[in-house]
Structure 1
């Protein structure tokens, strides 16, 4: 049990060391110089390739302008709430449901399609990626190439965005959850 506790403390300090260093915008070289530790030693301490020695703790804490207790404590848990302003584009409002840079480059949104979004453009967009949508309320018109679909609440769609596509309202506003690959997000929100 003692070995496990030592490993836990070592891992916690390494994570906390890196967290504090990056929060303050310090490079490895800057902290190493301030702590009077060789930069390669600091790099190996952070990566776990070298074990922390007790004499490192006060010097590293001082270099980071924290107490040794602060260096030893567990890092604060990140706020799990996704914060981000909605964006409206071409009659669709997007609320982010994922943080920036999620795994795999996918981005989830709650979307609201205006009842006025009824007419597809003359040329349907095509781009790299895959889109997924789940309709919560309203009826969605989805055009994929030459095919025209009505998607009802409780139905989900998945399609390659290499197929010319467009979605809009049938007879009223729509609420849905959408997942876009990075190219789809850029097209829907930024182009």
Structure 2
């Protein structure tokens, strides 16, 4: 792994290559960045250790992200490694890890008959779900719906509701939930 000295040592040649690729002189770059031509020359030759105050105007002048000047290592693993949560017979796999805002889950409902009693609940928020596999029995207020694969539902969670598998197979859903009442707005594609 590169040390900070290795990373900083590579800045000079990158700065020189960027300036030359633009066809800019040290004097022109000095006018553009507010740094002196002498400072720029010493940075390019590795005789001066670059500071953030010097690198920011250089990144702007060259039109590149600061990370490109220092050849920053790639960011950490972007994959989400969260553990499934088992609650009331459900398996909930969190798909987001940020606090607040809309949360995404894959929820697996056990086969019908293995679920606790159908007891509609209410809570603050707004929910959207999409059926990935199986069939879902969905109670909303006084209404009952059967929701199949490829169908989506959006509802205000302050209305009494209950969700469960409609048959002998588990039902798998992709669920978005916003505690503050955010709504999922999906626009149909326009071809």
TM bracket, shorter-chain basis = 0.5 to 0.7
Alignment check: 8 A CA contact 1:127 1:183 kept? no
Q: Which runs of 5+ in 2 are unaligned?
A: 1-21, 34-50, 56-68, 182-191
Q: Return the alpha-carbon distance in structure 2 between the equivalents of residues 138 and 118 of structure 1.
A: 18
Q: When the two structures are aligned, how many residues end up with a matched partner?
A: 120
Q: Following the alignment from structure 1 to structure 2, what is the Cα–Cα distance between the partners of residues 76 and 135?
A: 36
Question: What is the distance in 2 between the residues matched to 1:99 and 1:73?
Answer: 28
Query: Quick check: 1:113–1:169 contact (8 Å CA) kept in 2?
Result: yes
Pick the structure with more helix per residue: 1
- 2:128 is paired with a residue of what secondary structure? strand
Q: Does 1:125 align with 2:121?
A: yes
Q: 1:142 to 1:118 in 2, by over 3 A?
A: farther
Q: Which has the larger radius of gyration?
A: 2
Runs of at least 4 residues of structure 1 off by over 4 A?
A: none
Please name the residue that 2:11 is paired with: none
Distance (whole Å) between structure 2 residues aligned to residue 119 and residue 150 of structure 1 = 17
Q: Which residue in the other structure is 2:62 paired with? A: none
Distance 1:183 1:84, change over 3 A: farther
**Mind listing any 5+ residue stretches in structure 1 that lack a counterpart?**
8-44, 46-50, 55-70, 185-191
CA distance in 1, matches of 2:85, 2:74: 30
Question: CA 1:159/1:83 → structure 2, altered by over 3 Å: closer, same or farther?
Answer: same
Matched with 1:140 is: 136
Pairwise CA distance, 1:53: 4.5
Q: Which of 108, 112, 117 is the matching residue for 2:104? A: 108
TM (norm. structure 2) is: 0.55
Q: Secondary structure at the match of 2:81?
A: coil
